[in-house]
Structure formats: C-alpha cells, structure tokens
Amino acid sequence: MASVTSLSDSVQQRLASALSATLPEAADADPLLRRSDRADFQANGILALAKRAKANPRELATQVVAGVESGDVIKDIEVSGPGFLNITVSDRAITANLAARYADDTGRLGVPQAANPGTTVIDYAQPNVAKEMHVGHLRSAVIGDSVVQLLEFAGENVVRRHHIGDWGTQFGMLIQYLDEHPHELDHKDAQVTGEEAMSNLDRLYKAARRLFDSDEEFKTRARRRVVDLQAGEPKTLAMWQKFVDESKIYFFSVFEKLDMEVRDPDIVGESGYNDMLAETCRLLEESGVAVRSEGALCVFFDDVKGPDGNPVPLIVQKSDGGYGYAATDLSAIRDRVFNLKANTLLYVVDARQALHFRMVFETARRAGWLNEDVKAQQLAFGTVLGKDGKPFKTREGETVRLVDLLDEAIERASAVVREKAQDLSEQEIAERGGQVGIGAVKYADLSTSAIRDYKFDLDQMVSLNGDTSVYLQYAYARIQSILRKAGEVRPVAHAELELAEAERALGLHVDAFAETVREAAAEYAPHKLAAYLYQLASHYTSFYDKCPVLKAETPHLVENRLFLCDVTARTLHQGMSLLGIRTPEKL
C-alpha cells in the first residue's frame, strides 16, 4: 500500500521529537499544529506546556527550534510572539510529497486506511412504501451516501441499512382495497417505470383512503386485514409484498436519478424486525427497563416531560398489543449490535426525530445493548427551506415531490451547460446536464453542516461563481482541457524547482487532502470536505491566473506545472466522488 505521510504529519513528528528531547515530561504532548497565514504552519502548543512545566515559553520555544531536525522538510522555523513557532516547509518537500501521492496507483492519492477499522451500520435513505419521496428524503440519502463513501474510503467496514417504512396499520386499508380491486397494480407492459409505479400506488392510496373515510363497512374489513397481516396470513402477506415491490421500482428509479447506489439486500425495512419484536419487549420488561402502564409497555425518563409536566414515556408496545416505531428501532439495534457486530450505529434522520432517538438509545443503554464499546448516534439534519425561509412547499402549499425538484435542477443545469458548451454534442449536453444538476443539488445539501437548515435555491445552486459544484466541475474540466492541449508533453514532477507563492499555496492545500478526509470521516462531516474542495478550486484559480502553464519559461517548468494541474484534478475528482458528485472531462 502506497500511503504517504502528509507534510503536516511530518512537521508534527519533527516538532514532537524535538519537544520531548527538550522537555522529557512532554513526551506525548501535542505541539498543536495549525495552518497559518504567517507561515505554512504555526505551532501554538508550547505556551500551555511551558506553563505546566513552569518554564519560560519563549525560552522553551527557542530550545525546541534548536533541536528540530531541519533541512529535508522544514526549511525555516522561528519563534514568534509569546512562544509560537512559525514553520515554513521547503519547496522540494512539497513537490516530492505530491509526487508520491501522484504515484499512488490505487487512486487514493496516498491517503492511508485505518489500521484497526471498526464496523459501522448506517441507517439512511429510508423512504416509505406506497408514498411519494419528498424533499426530506433527499437529505437523508445525500448525506448518508456521502458518509458511507467517506467511511469506506477511510477503511471502515460499513453496513448500509435502508430502514424503509414498510409496516403499519395503513397497510390493512391498502391490502383490503387491492383485494377488492385486484387489477389495480397490474401492468400493461412488463417494464414499468418508476414514475408509473408511483402513480399506480398514489391512485390506489387515494382511492383506498376515500373509501376508508366514507364507508364504515370497508373500515371494518380494513381493520380485520391488519390482524391478518400481523398474523402472517399468506394471501395477505403476498398482497403486502406487491406494495413493497411496486414501491421499490419507484425508489430505485429515484436513487438512479440521484446517481446513487442503493442495493436491494441493504433494504431492510421495519418489517424486517417483526420476528424480534416480542422478544425485545420481553427482554425490556424482564430487566425492568420497561414497565406496564395503563396496559402499554413503557420506558420513562426523568427529563422527558410533556407540556403538562407529566412524564412522556417511550411506548414499546401499545395497550392493544400492537408494536410501533420504537419497538422496531429497538429490535434493529439488537440486530445491528449482536448479528452485524457493529461498533457504531449511525442514523441519518431528520432532526425532528431527535427525541425519539434519544429515548431509544437511552433505553438500549439501560438494557445493556449499547455501552462504551458500541455507540449510537443520530446524524440529525435540518429542514430544507424555500426561498422565503419557510419549509419548502409548492405554491399550492403541498410538499414538493422529490422527482419534480430533481427534474427542474437537471433542466436548469442543462441550460447552463448549453450556454457554455463549445464542442459538446446534444447527447453530451443532456448527460452533462444530469451530472451538473444532480451535483448542484447534492453539493448545496452537503456544503452546509447537516444540522443547519438551508434554502433550496436553484438559481444559486447552478451559478458558475461562488461555492457551487458547478464551479468545482468547471475547474476540473478546465484542467482536463489544459492536459489535452499539452499533447505530447506530460506532467512530470521536478522537485528541484523553486515554487512561486501561488504554487506553494496550491501544493500545500493539495497535500492537506488526507487530513481533511480523515477529519471529515471521523466527524461524519461531508461539509468539511466540501469546504476543502472549494478552497482547492480557488487556489487553483489563483495559480492559473499567476502562473502560465503551457507557456512557462522552461520545459521543466511546463512539466511541473502540468503535474500540479493533474494532481489537483485527481484530488478534485476523488474528493467530489466522496460527495457523490461527478466530474465530467469536458464542460
């Protein structure tokens, strides 16, 4: 494996060893390296160390400087202020490090993989059967997919779980209706599109609802169906399966439009835990974690109270014997911990479900299913807002269908691509329109921290200037065009060359990809990667403005600048792919 030590890690190591030589009690102390405007890096951990050792910080800093191994990586190190260290790395080290990354033929740019990976089960992209996907389902899918990519890239074992809503009393009504109108889900053609599948389901849902609300006898029959379903009566189950299958056709079509891989075996919906529900309740009741209260099986919490001051319990089993959302989630925890052997459980779910997860996790902790070694975390996300700052709705006040939104984004993006297109065919414009449009939607979602709300503003999302994916995609395409124009001349690193300021800034930033990915994966924070990529494109733009590439003074300089271009492009490509965004070669 071709893993490369990043420049910041090299500097860090050199500082740490000088520090422990000077002050043995600081053997594992962190010199606290930061990127800085004053120099390439600044270490500001000496102050606190000196304080603890009752030493003079500037003196300690001076001693560390004297003890630092300099030459290969560190070109310059000096004490500044009350005891900071300003560090400049050599041009040679920058180019050599990037060359080592460039040489990594696995495409990982020398980014190391975790030595002792754990197993993370991630619950994301969980729409509901027989229901249209809306804008809220977008966030879970987009954020979840990026976190999956980040974790897998970092070397973690990742198990994906799409906890779709495929169970509940509403199926009694649907199944009963289908039984009475058996041809409602028949298809004219063998190949049914996602759009057709959804409109079938929607029509059926509305008709069933209408009957349920107006016809008392149908209502009774529908309720009896729920009992049959729960008892696993074969004919009822077979009809339920039809709804699930029809819905999956639709889900897969939306995920495909989103350019996202969702695999059938990873779809384990609420129904997947049916066999565990009774046992889950028994375990909770026997251990005293849950108690019977007015017939229902409940878990109480000191700090969860309703507006009237009375405690609001988590209901694991209703008084009529039915199981709800909590029982399923608790059973899923047992499955993920004991069968899938997870160390980490992640839930990419709307922040509005935070109380539910807080109670579910606490219950699982009391039961001993979660503990120090197995942790659970909700990666809560905020609401998608319209331009008016209110939750996103259609002009008629209805929730927005996800497909309509995606189609509009693709349409807008195609217009932008067409306007700029120079040598693209119609087919290429259509294909790029999709990549740019979907990229724009994903990037807008991923570039703010998940917990914050954001405004869905297509004009802003497909803008060529500013913090958008289109800007990044253009930077990438521009580099590819330079590489094509270079013809026979290929990128070659020349570590002996002196670097201009803009080249250094770009090079240092490219090298920071590894630590950015490490941090973004550890914190489940794709927005940190997005911010990094935006800065990368900006550094590239300044480099490109100040440093001619193909017209550089010497052949070696041309080769080295082409190399800087190419290593930047590869980093953009890799980084964007971790966000689930394509980088077309031409735009």
For ligand ARG, the binding residues (CB under 6 A) are 123, 126, 128, 163, 165, 329, 347, 349
Output the smallest distance, CB 585 to ligand ARG, in A: 37
Output the smallest distance, CB 546 to ligand ARG, in A: 49
Q: How far apart are CA 395 and CA 63, in angstroms?
A: 68
Residue 353 per-residue DSSP state = G
Q: Pick the closer one to ligand ARG by CB: 97 or 128.
A: 128
Output the smallest distance, CB 527 to ligand ARG, in A: 21
Terminal-to-terminal C-alpha distance of the chain: 34
Amino acid occupying residue 557: L
Residue with tokens 């059967």: 129
Q: What is the 3-state secondary structure (H, E, C) of 181-217?
A: CCCCCCCCCCCCCHHHHHHHHHHHHHHHHHHHHHCHH
Output the smallest distance, CB 271 to ligand ARG, in A: 12
Q: How far apart are CA 91 and CA 512, in angstroms?
A: 15
127 phi/psi in degrees, rounded to 5: -75, 180
The dihedral through the CA atoms of 212, 217, 220, 221 has a sign that is negative
Q: Pick the closer one to ligand ARG by CB: 165 or 313.
A: 165
Contact criterion met (CB below 8 Å) for 60 and 54: no
119 phi/psi in degrees, rounded to 5: -115, 125
Q: How far apart are CA 476 and CA 579, in angstroms?
A: 15
Q: Pick the closer one to ligand ARG by CB: 119 or 353.
A: 353
Q: Pick the closer one to ligand ARG by CB: 192 or 340.
A: 340
Output the smallest distance, CB 272 to ligand ARG, in A: 11
Q: How far apart are CA 362 and CA 375, in angstroms?
A: 11
The per-residue DSSP string of 456-506 comes to --HHHHT-SSSSSHHHHHHHHHHHHHHHHHTTT------TTS---HHHHHH
Output the smallest distance, CB 136 to ligand ARG, in A: 7
Q: Pick the closer one to ligand ARG by CB: 352 or 452.
A: 352
Output the smallest distance, CB 163 to ligand ARG, in A: 4
CA 326 to chain centre: 25
Output the smallest distance, CB 348 to ligand ARG, in A: 8
Output the smallest distance, CB 161 to ligand ARG, in A: 8
Q: Pick the closer one to ligand ARG by CB: 144 or 507.
A: 144
- The DSSP element (H or E) to which 246 belongs, if any, is helix 234-257
Output the smallest distance, CB 100 to ligand ARG, in A: 42
Letter string b/e over residues 285-303, b meaning 16 or more CB atoms within 10 A of that residue's CB: eeeebbeeeeebbbbebee
Q: Pick the closer one to ligand ARG by CB: 220 or 377.
A: 377
Output the smallest distance, CB 244 to ligand ARG, in A: 13
Q: How many other CB atoms are found less than 10 A from the CB of residue 158? A: 21
Residue 273: exposed, middle, or buried by beta-carbon count in 10 A (0-12, 13-18, 19+)? buried
Output the smallest distance, CB 560 to ligand ARG, in A: 50
Q: Pick the closer one to ligand ARG by CB: 349 or 477.
A: 349
Q: Pick the closer one to ligand ARG by CB: 324 or 575.
A: 324
Q: Pick the closer one to ligand ARG by CB: 123 or 228.
A: 123
Strands 344-350 and 119-123: parallel
CA dihedral 182, 184, 186, 192 (to 10 degrees): -160
Residue with tokens 């066999």: 275
Q: Pick the closer one to ligand ARG by CB: 27 or 451.
A: 451
Q: Pick the closer one to ligand ARG by CB: 165 or 507.
A: 165
Q: How far apart are CA 193 and CA 200, in angstroms?
A: 11
